[in-house]
Amino acid sequence: MAPFTALVLDWAVTALWPLLGAVGMRHYSGVLFTTAGLAVGLIVLSPWLLSRGRWRLLFAREIAPSLAMMGLCSGAATVVYISALAHTTPANAAILAQVEVLYSAALTAWLLGERPSLKLGLAASLIVSGTALVTLQDLSSPRWKGDLMILCTPWLYQVSHIFAKRLPGGLDALTLSGGRVLYGIAAMAPVCLWSLAHGGRWSCSPEALAILMAQGFLMSSLNLVLWYKAIRGMELSTATTFMLSYPALTLVFSRALGHDAIQGAQILGLACSFTGAVWTARLSREARERAALDLAAAL
């Protein structure tokens, strides 16, 4: 499968994530739903992990530390994100998650030793304005807590992606996905035990188990394989920029399924944050290209 094809499919699957999480939170605690979903994902991936020596690679000395960091960062972020859906709407979650590109730009500037430019500041202002439009309308409702939780998660995903890009080029998407899932389970297991000991919610109803299976198959296996297939074959900034449009599809799904009555502030907030996010991603890519040219000239 071509990287861009994988990216388009992942875009559609990712748009469903806030909706699955919102339904899951009716039956489970956030950490239990996330970790159980990872366990289902690991079972789904197991036939491929057991072939071609992939399982052994997950514990190789030069690979395991990066995979462990991917699992820890993405696992923690997913727990917070899923838990936030008990307090806010899927549409809000999708829109607010666009601040990830700000964290990406900040990491790029830090790694390259550059000061943010005026253009980057203006682009960031658009993103902040868009997220503020969504968040401020919720200050008088219980949703503000969930909104703030969503805003705290994207930087962890960016760190996870950076570790993924540092791994040897010969690793395929299945190995990367299996490693992220395996180490994510290991990282979240102590928190799960704590949650169960303190009354964490768990349900064995048919609806609950069905949504858990969907979470495991779609978000903890298929989604990861498609994402790593995409970013291992194209620029991370390009893939991230494309994925920035998924909240629009989430709004369509959310409206169609009756989860949200879409409001004007959400539409305007999405437009502002999406415009700023695309601009920020382009500026970050240009900064990396300049750094690469300067390094080549120095050599």
Could you tell me the pTM of the whole model?
A: 0.76
Greatest mean pLDDT among 31-40, 131-140, 223-232, 284-293 lies in: 31-40
Q: Between 33 and 18, whose confidence is greater?
A: 33
Q: What is the pLDDT of residues 197-242, one digit of tens each?
A: 888 889 899 999 999 999 999 999 999 889 888 877 776 666 776 7
Q: Which range has highest mean pLDDT (126-130, 164-168, 186-190, 279-283)?
A: 186-190
Weakest mean pLDDT among 28-42, 53-67, 147-161, 170-184 = 147-161
Between 81-85, 110-114, 194-198, the lowest mean confidence (pLDDT) is in: 110-114
Q: Which domain holds residue 127?
A: 3-298
Report pLDDT digits (tens) over 113-152. 555 566 666 766 766 666 666 556 655 566 677 778 887 8
Domain count, the chain: 1
Q: Could you give the dihedral angle defined by the CA atoms of residues 162, 167, 168 and 171, in that order, rounded to the nearest 10 degrees?
A: -110
Separation between Cα atoms, residue 155 and residue 62, nearest integer Å: 24
CA separation for the pair 151, 157 (Å, rounded): 12
